Each structure stands twice: as C-alpha cells, then as structure tokens.
C-alpha cells in the first residue's frame, strides 16, 4: 500500500516550499543582475546552486514516491487476533472437510481486514507430530487470505494422497499451521553446482518447475535435509521424478520463497 495521504501531502508541501524558494532565488538573481552589475557573479552562482538543490530534491521525492508505490513490499505479518480468527475458521473447515462437506459459509463483513487482503499460503496438518497433509494451490497472491487458507486446508484433507485420510476421531488431535508465501524469486544458475551453492546460502523454500509440473518444499524442510543435494533429490522424489532430475538438462525452472508462519495447538 502507498504511504498515507497525509504523509505524501506533507512531503509534497515541503517540496513545494523548497521549489518556491529556489524560484525566488533565481528571480532575485535576475533583479540583481539588472540593478547591480557588481553582484552578478555571486548572485548567478547562488541561482545555479538553488537550481541544483531544486533538482536534487525533486529527484529524491520522485525516487521515494516510486519506491512507496511500486517497490515496497506490503506487510505479510498477521496480528495475533487475526491469526486466532483465521485458525478458528480453519478448524471449522477441517471439521467440515473431514465430514465430506464443502467450504464453510462465511460472512465477509465479519472477517478482519488483514485476512481479506490477497494472499497465498501453505496449510499443513499434523497429528502427533506426523505430517498428514500439506497443500498450496498457487504461489502468487490471488484471492483473500482467509479464502485461500480454507481452500488449501480442504485440499490438504481431500487431495494429498501421500497420507492416510484424517478420520473424525482424529480431528481434535490435528494441528494446523499456516505458512504465508512471500518474496518468490527466480533463481538464475549456470550449472548444478552453482545452484547448490545458491540454495545452501539462502535456505529458503524451493519450487522446481518441470514443464509446468511443480514441486515445492517449505524452508523448514532444510531442518530435515540440510544438504542441498539431498534436499533437491528428495524434492524430485516427492514429485515422482528421477532423483537427479534437478541436474538433468533442460534444467528445471527454480524459484525460492520465504514464509510467515503461525499455527494452533490442536
């Protein structure tokens, strides 16, 4: 989001004052040039200095405005009260999904403004510390965060065929974790060794794309596979590719990402 209107107005007001003063300096110089030849060099120098200051301040203002509007990333933090609401909705959806029901009915007016912002998030389900489902539909923010969380929770219950289905008796033991994705970046590498070096130094989440088929690991998986080569091999196995597909030409498209995580205690 851009800075508040009051701040921009204040900044523009300050800039306006400087420009006006610079303009006055140039006008004053012209008058002095006309009325008093002895002061011409000094006044012309003052006019040039004022013009340079004016241009410098204009450049700073334009740079700040571009950064504020286009380059600054929106905050992905979720306040504790919003986390609590989102996790409560997710648990309602868990109960409904395990019972074979569709998305729970929602009243948007009751949802906090922060969780109505566009987002994309993994939803992970664990029982007694063991993973029982983890899904994300897309990595780019594309729908309200609360909708995306409920959607991906339903996918984790119904569509993650790596695990046995969660039963109604297990619902109370399920822990829900939300991992909001941000800073998705393309990784440029010239060969497998340079890719290993890059991933080892960053230890972010990793997405592999082979002809439109995606496989991804959260940053926390580095705790399980701290070696980058093993990390990538296991990621390929997860996608039912050959373990060395990551180093086979044509190389997969590789992206990294970071996450903001929170969860409940079941």
In the chain, domain spans:
5-71, 80-183, 184-257
The pLDDT of residue 18 is 29
The pLDDT of residue 108 is 81
Which tokens belong to 212? 């439109």
Q: What gap in Å lies between CA 46 and CA 48, rounded to an integer?
A: 5
Which tokens belong to 12? 């523009």
What mean pLDDT value characterizes the chain? 81
Checking 5-14 for CB contacts under 8 A at 24+ apart, the result is: 8/65, 8/68, 11/61, 11/64, 12/61
Assess whether pLDDT exceeds 50 at residue 247.
yes
Pairing of strands 130-135, 205-210: unpaired
Which tokens belong to 242? 């050959």
Contact 218, 225 (CB under 8 A): no
* Prediction pTM value: 0.71
Residue range 195-239, pLDDT digits in tens: 999 999 999 999 999 999 999 999 999 999 999 999 999 999 999
Higher pLDDT, residue 138 or 26: 138
Q: If you average pLDDT over residues 126-143, what whole number do you get?
A: 96
**Domain at 184-257, CATH class:** alpha beta
According to the per-residue pLDDT averaged within each range, which of 8-12, 26-30, 95-99 is highest?
Answer: 95-99
pLDDT confidence bin for 54, thresholds 50/70/90: low
The pLDDT of residue 48 is 66
Q: What gap in Å lies between CA 15 and CA 152, rounded to an integer?
A: 48
Assess whether pLDDT exceeds 70 at residue 91.
yes
The pLDDT of residue 63 is 52
Assess whether pLDDT exceeds 80 at residue 37.
no
The pLDDT of residue 265 is 72
Contact 192, 254 (CB under 8 A): no
Provide the β-strand partners of residue 253: 209
Contact 15, 54 (CB under 8 A): no
| The listed CATH number (3.40.1800.10, 3.40.50.1820, 3.90.650.10, 3.30.700.20) that belongs to domain 80-183 | 3.30.700.20
Higher pLDDT, residue 130 or 56: 130
Q: What gap in Å lies between CA 204 and CA 220, rounded to an integer?
A: 8
Assess whether pLDDT exceeds 70 at residue 80.
yes
């Amino acid at each position: 989001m851009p800075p508040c209107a009051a701040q921009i107005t204040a900044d523009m007001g300050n800039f306006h004052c400087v420009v006006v003063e610079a303009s006055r300096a140039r006008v004053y110089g012209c008058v002095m040039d006309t009325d008093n030849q002895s002061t011409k060099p000094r006044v012309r120098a003052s006019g040039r200095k004022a013009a340079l200051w004016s241009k410098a301040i204009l450049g700073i203002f334009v740079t700040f405005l571009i950064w504020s509007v286009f380059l600054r990333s929106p905050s992905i933090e979720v306040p504790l009260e919003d986390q609590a609401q989102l996790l409560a909705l997710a648990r309602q959806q868990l109960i409904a999904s395990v019972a074979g029901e569709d998305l729970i009915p929602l009243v948007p007016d009751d949802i906090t403004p922060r969780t109505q912002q566009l987002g994309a998030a993994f939803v992970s389900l664990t029982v007694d510390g063991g993973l029982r489902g983890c899904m994300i539909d897309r990595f780019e923010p594309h729908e309200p965060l609360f909708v995306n969380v409920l959607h991906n929770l339903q996918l984790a219950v119904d569509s993650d065929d790596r695990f046995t289905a969660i039963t109604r008796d297990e619902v109370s033991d399920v822990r829900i974790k939300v991992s909001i994705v941000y800073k998705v970046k393309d990784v440029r590498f010239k060969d497998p060794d340079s890719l290993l070096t890059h991933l080892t130094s960053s230890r972010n989440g990793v997405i592999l794309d082979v002809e439109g088929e995606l496989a991804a690991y959260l940053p926390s998986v580095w705790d399980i596979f701290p070696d980058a080569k093993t990390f990538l091999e296991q990621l390929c196995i997860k996608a039912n590719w050959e373990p060395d597909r990551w180093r086979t030409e044509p190389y997969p498209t590789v992206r990294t990402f970071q996450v903001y995580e929170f969860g409940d205690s079941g």
